[in-house]
Amino acid sequence: MSTTRQWIPDGMDRGVASAARAYDYLLGGTHHFEADRKLAEQVLSVLPANVMARQNRDYLQRVVRFLVDSGIRQFIDLGSGLPVMGNVHEVAQQLDPECRVIYVDNEPASVAHSELILSGAAHTAIVEADVREVTAVLNADATRRLIDFSRPVGLLMLGVTQFLHDEDDPWAITSAYREALPSGSFLALSCFTWDNDPETMRNTIEMFRKSGRSPIVPRTRAEVIRLIGDLELLDPGLVFTPQWRPDAVSGDSEERSNLYAGVARKP
């Protein structure tokens, strides 16, 4: 645990696990409590979630660098978790301090932590909203203050869609976000899939069911492609996270990846 306490809000119940803090634990971070570690270890009993978390964070960082290189200076990160461990604003603003970032999460603990972590951070804010409520996300005061929808936006949906059930219609939700983006914007996705290791995914779904938590929903390649819609899918197409434009230090194979990754541009 970190010795600093600036990220812990007053009155926080440390006995209630947070998905965002559990993810930080899987990444090797310091922003977590015992309940979060227990949750993460439970997931690790059926899924190589620490490998997947690192692969997803490495992918996020490569995507943000690519988008900044492509001229993007404003980002919306849906289902963002905690803004630590090399998250969007840290990568983007290192390349250009004028980059603007909106994080969006609906977990109150994640939002409360994020507000403290981001206190004093320029051009960066957290919006408490459910990604399914597209209008609420796009019309939030912080979004309207920081994001200029007359200019291209980088929309990130990384590790989010597995929490959207079919009855939520994730394809309609993603379509609504795509429609709101101006020409020249990008959509970056990473999505849990059955395709690489269906048995592990079945075991993971069963573990979530038995624990009383809402089960995750992995999807097939065709279902993920539907999320991209009529946007232009960029090279190398829809691949596993380690395969998306790996850099010199990536070094991962796809063997333990259960996440598809892809970036698409709106003409």
Domain edges within the chain: 50-196+217-265
H helices of the chain, where?
19-26, 34-44, 49-69, 88-95, 108-117, 134-138, 141-146, 170-180, 198-210, 221-228
Which of 62, 205, 78, 189 is CA-nearest to residue 129?
78
For 76-87, write each residue's pLDDT tens digit. Answer: 999 999 999 999
For 105-152, write each residue's pLDDT tens digit. Answer: 999 988 999 999 999 899 999 999 999 999 999 999 999 999 999 999
**47-65 b/e (C-beta count within 10 Å ≥ 16 → b):** bbbbbbbbbbbbbbbbbbb
Q: Which of the residue ranges 10-19, 31-40, 118-127, 151-160 would you say has the lowest mean pLDDT?
A: 10-19
Q: What is the pTM of this model?
A: 0.92
Which tokens sit at 113?
């932590």
Which of 191, 159, 162 is CA-nearest to residue 79?
159
Q: Which CATH architecture has domain 50-196+217-265?
A: 3-Layer(aba) Sandwich (3.40)
